[in-house]
Amino acid sequence: MRFIIHTLVDITETGSRRGEDPKQYRQQQNFLTVMQTIGLRVNPEYIGSPTIISEVPSKLGLGTSFKTKQSVWKYAFDMEFRDALDVETLVNDFDLIPIITKLDETAEFDNAHFLTKDTAKCNIFFEIDDK
C-alpha cells in the first residue's frame, strides 16, 4: 500500500550529518522527523527521496491561505501490510510535530510545526495511492 505526502515544509533528503553543512543538516532533520513519525506506527518501505514540485497548495489538499504557487515536497512510501495505517492516523500523529523552517520552502509559517487540522494553514497532506 502506497501513501503520498505533500508538504510545504522543506523535507529534502540530504544525508548530511552534524558538523557538515548546517542548512543541509537541518533539511535532513526535517526528513528524519517525517520518517520517525511514520515509524511510530509502521516500518515505512523507502522508495526514493522527496521531490519538489511547484503548485498552488490548495490544489493538493494543503491550506487555503496559500494562494500562489509554492514549492511543495512530494514524498511517497510503501508499507508491507495493507490497512496497518490510514490517513486519519497520519493526520493525528503529525499535527503539531515541530519542524525546522527558513530553509528552501517558499511558504511562510506562523509556527514551526506540522499543521494537519487547520484548513487555512495546513502544511502537510496525506493521500493513499491505490495505483
pLDDT score recorded for residue 28: 97
Count of domains observed in the chain: 1
pLDDT grade for 131, boundaries at 50, 70 and 90 = low
pLDDT tens readout for residues 76-129: 999 888 888 999 999 999 999 999 999 999 999 999 999 999 999 999 999 998
pLDDT score recorded for residue 6: 98
pLDDT tens readout for residues 48-88: 999 999 999 999 999 999 999 999 999 999 988 888 899 99
Task: Give CA–CA dist 89/85, Å, rounded.
Answer: 7
Which domain covers residue 96, as residue numbers?
Answer: 2-129
Closest to 71 (Cα-Cα) out of 131, 114, 11, 1? 11
pLDDT grade for 23, boundaries at 50, 70 and 90 = very high
Instruction: Please state, rounded to an integer, the average pLDDT across all residues of the chain.
Output: 95
Coil, strand or helix at 71: strand
Closest to 100 (Cα-Cα) out of 40, 54, 33? 33
- 80 phi-psi bin (left φ>0, alpha ψ -120 to 50, beta other): alpha
pLDDT grade for 16, boundaries at 50, 70 and 90 = very high
